[in-house]
């Protein structure tokens, strides 16, 4: 068993696609129209055949209270691995990304949390070698 697809609720699929590709550096994988929305996925350019992230419309009534509660408590909705949190923080800050938690050493890893502009907090992480 392996992870092939996971989803992230977004307020606006087109704005999310722009942020996740132009700012974060993911690559568009699928963009299949489905009525007013699309089956819209992105992948890491480092692993184009790896897991896909579905940018899912956030219309379901349970989504807003769920995401609002997580954001209020500072809990990220997703986590992405990076080679160097400090370098990625500097790169993304330079591109206008707002961090709610700066790079923080938590012992086994370094983490930081940013607002994806699409309704979610996202954590980046670099695990330390043991």
How does pLDDT run across 19-78, given as a tens digit for each residue?
Answer: 999 999 999 999 999 999 999 999 999 999 999 999 999 999 999 999 999 999 999 999
> Mean pLDDT, to the nearest integer, of 75-85?
97
Model pTM? 0.94
**Main-chain phi, psi angles of 55, to 5 degrees:** -90, 90
Average pLDDT, the chain: 96
């Amino acid at each position: 068993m392996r992870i092939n697809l996971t989803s992230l609720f977004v307020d606006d699929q087109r704005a999310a696609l722009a942020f996740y590709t132009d700012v974060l550096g993911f690559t568009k994988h699928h963009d299949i129209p489905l009525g007013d929305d699309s089956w819209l996925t992105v992948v890491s350019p480092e692993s184009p055949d790896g897991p896909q992230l579905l940018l899912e419309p956030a219309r379901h009534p349970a989504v807003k209270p769920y995401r609002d509660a997580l954001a209020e408590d500072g809990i990220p909705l997703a986590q992405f691995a990076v080679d160097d949190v400090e370098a990625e923080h500097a790169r993304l800050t330079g591109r206008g990304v707002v961090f709610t938690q700066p790079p923080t050493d938590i012992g086994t890893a370094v983490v930081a949390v940013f607002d994806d502009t699409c309704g979610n907090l996202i954590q980046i992480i670099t695990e330390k070698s043991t």
